Structure 1
Amino acid sequence: MKEFHSFGWYAARIAPHLPKQAFKPVPSRLFGGLAYFLIIIASFVTIIFFDTNIWINLLLSFILGSSFAGMGFLGHEILHGTVVRKPWLRDLLGAIAFWPLTTGPKLWRKWHNLTHHVHTQDEENDPDAWPSMQKFKESRLMRWMYRVPFWIRAIASFASLAVTFTLHSMKMFTVYVKEFNPKKQPSVWLEAVLPWATWIGLLVWIGFGKWFFAFLLPLLIANFIVMAYISTNHRLNPLVPVNDPLANSLTVTTPKWVDVLHFNFSYHTEHHLFPGMSPKFYPLVKEQIKQKWPERYHEMPFGKALVALFITPRVYYKDKEFIDPHKGNLFGSLGNGMNPKNLSIKKSKLKLR
């Protein structure tokens, strides 16, 4: 891709071709959240009050983890203002939806809406962007990690998806809490502490055995599902000097029933073009993009995107390629040589120092 355009440039050319209702909130999306809420309550009651065997508990943990993730996707939608517009109601519903993932609405809007969306794939300003060779050289921990054989790193990286969202959320709290107005900081702290107080209180009440199946294992499962999407949203794309969603974002394709369960979270390029639009209308946005800029648009089956993520390193070389510094192997990024059907490797003279 030789030139970049801002998300506003694309949006201005697509918006006239979309129905007016696409730009209005869709409160009916809350019915999906209600369904997840009832499933969570029913699963909690079964685990806590019945002596079910381990296989039933494992099944319920998977159902809970999937529901936690689904609530998180809806919370993301709510806090973009696409479900309800009243700030107090938006934050209340967003807090409930993110409660299982223990992330407060004020922190999320600061970290995600106001920073990540504004500076997507900017190494310095996007809190979710992966580092370049320069930052790699400055990090003793990363230099040590990249001495580990690639296949061990790849497996460990995928396993870490089960904790990454929770840990990154905690890190973002420490980064951004001090940037809030001092008068608002107590509420930001309260939003961070209350969910954990709830889950730790549940532990004290029901004991570790039941708590493991009711919360801890579901949290790990939810982390993995959420991070499987987040990791493919941008981590196969280049770092960019302009916030161009067609260059810095990837839409993954999933079966229709998965899109229903996950509130169309797979349409990520579309989301970065219209973050204030309900994902219900993202298929219409996708049609417009593919009509106007088919050569710029990046989409990939979800499974292939995860495979591509698994076999490529996460250090950027000159913004457009990925490098394994220890071996000197180079991989192209999306739009810069990456072919999902044939992920080729170029040899480089760069070595870990």
Structure 2
Amino acid sequence: MSELHHFGWYAASIKKHLPQDVFKPVPARLFGGLAYLTIVIGSFLLIGLFDLHLLLNLALSFIIGASFAGMGFLGHEILHGTVVRKPWLRDILGAIAFWPLSTGPKLWRKWHNITHHVHTQHGDDDPDAWPTLEKISKMKGFRLVYRLPLRIRATFSFASLAIQFTAHSLKMFTVYIKEFKPRKQPAVLFQTLAPWITWIGLLFIIGFQNWLFAFLIPLLIGNFIVMAYISTNHRLNPLVPVNDPLANSLSVTVPKWVNVIHFNFSYHTEHHLFPGMSSKYYPLVKEHIKSMWPERYHEMPMAKALKALWQTPRVYFDDNELVDPRKAETYGSLGNGLDPSNIQSRSYKD
């Protein structure tokens, strides 16, 4: 791996080449959120008021789930302050956008903006980083899991993408609630519980079968779509002592229309360089990165990144390698010998 640089070093190098307008909020992004909200409410009404065929209900479930994911991507952008700047309005709109995924704005900003972005892929300080071999060796439950063959673990890991965002969000609540000042903790608790009260209340209003199609299945779909991106953001990259986005982050490529409906969430390295910039302008940032540091920039098609995740373990060994404890084999990470087109392992006892 080449010499590491802090994200501020890259940002300063690029910023002087960018027009000042790219640092202004883009409230027009809210029209996308309004479209998603309209689709969700309309689909709820169709499922709740009409006795639809099973296949039509499933189709609506997928549409709602995709909308849940799209709202989550917009919520992520809103809570970075790139859509509106007034804190009270930012938090209200962010809460609405994250309501389907049941994540409160205060918790999200503490967990994601303040902690993850500042300590990205730091083995001890990033709440989203995967553990090292040393850490899992002290966790009895994890040791049992890692006795399973890699392909079986990978299959279960991919299936778990359908619940991972929701599960991790609840875990982050338990981790960070005590770090808020006592006077702010009730608001954080309310923001966490209110969406769940809404969704459980919906169950009693429309009945279990309709709720299954209107919320539960869409929640699983929304989780999977969101986590398909999040799982590629950093999990193939090394753990690093310096927050270097060109070393610790991966941008994936998807069709242009997917970038439109997902608010350019695929541009993840760009996001870590300029989290306060609307993702609308990330293609411009990407052009500058690729012209200035083409050998350091990591990108690949989404499908290829997911396949690489399935073929490699999620435990770190010496920060730069991934290790399968069961077979004592290591795999490179991006920038450290990992070739996604030809994934090879070696014994770490060599």
TM-score between the two structures when normalised by the length of structure 2: 0.99
Q: Which residue of 1 aligns with 2:5?
A: 5
1:99 to 2:60 alignment: no
Q: Does the residue aligned with 1:17 lie in a helix, a strand or coil?
A: coil
Tell me the equivalent position of 2:79.
79
Partners of 2:243 and 2:132 in 1: CA distance: 17
Does residue 1:161 correspond to 2:200, yes or no? no
Equivalents in 2 of 1:49, 1:291: separation in Å?
A: 55
Aligned-residue identity in percent: 70
- List per-residue Cα deviations over 1:323-349 (Å, max 9, x = no partner): 101101111000000111111111233
2:45 is the alignment partner of 1:45: yes
TM alignment of 1:260-271, pairs within 5 A: 260-271=260-271
CA-CA distance at 1:259 after TM superposition: 0.2
- 2:113 is the alignment partner of 1:108: no
What is the match of residue 244 of structure 2?
244
Give secondary structure in 1 for the equivalent of 2:331: strand
Please list, as runs of the form range in 1=range in 2, the aligned pairs for 1:201-220 lying within 5 A after superposition.
201-220=201-220
Q: Deviations over 1:44-67 (max 9, x none)?
A: 010000110100000000000000
Looking at structure 2, the residues matched to 179 and 151 of structure 1 have their Cα atoms a distance apart, in angstroms, of 38
Q: Which residue of 1 aligns with 2:140?
A: 140
Equivalence for 1:226: 226
Corresponding residue number in structure 2 for 1:259: 259
Separation in structure 1 between the aligned mates of residue 340 and residue 129 of structure 2, nearest angstrom = 21
Q: CA deviation at 1:148?
A: 1.1
Query: Following the alignment from structure 1 to structure 2, what is the Cα–Cα distance between the partners of residues 92 and 12?
Result: 32
Q: Which amino acid aligns with 1:211?
A: W
SS of residue paired to 2:300: strand
- Taking the aligned partners of 1:180 and 1:149, their CA distance within structure 2 comes to 41
Does residue 190 of the first structure (1) align with residue 190 of the second (2)?
yes
Supply the RMSD in Å over aligned alpha carbons: 0.7
SS of the residue 1:330 aligns to = strand
Counterpart of 1:88 in structure 2 is 88
**Structure 1: 5+ residue runs without aligned partners?**
none
Partner of residue 297, structure 2? 297
Q: Secondary structure at the match of 2:316?
A: strand
Q: TM-score if structure 1 supplies the norm length?
A: 0.98
**CA drift at 1:226:** 0.4
SS in 2 for 1:46: helix
Deviation digits for residues 306-334 of structure 1, max 9, x if unmatched? 00000100010100010101101111000
**Residue correspondences, number:** 350
User: For residues 15 and 349 of structure 2, what CA distance do their matches in structure 1 show?
Assistant: 47
Runs of 4+ with deviation above 4 angstroms: none
Q: Who is 1:272 aligned against?
A: 272
Which residue identity does 1:125 align to in structure 2? D
- Quote the Cα distance in structure 2 between the aligned partners of 1:154 and 1:246: 26
Q: Which residue pairs with 1:35 in the alignment? A: 35
SS at match of 1:138: coil
Comparing 90-99 with 173-182, greater Cα deviation is found at 173-182
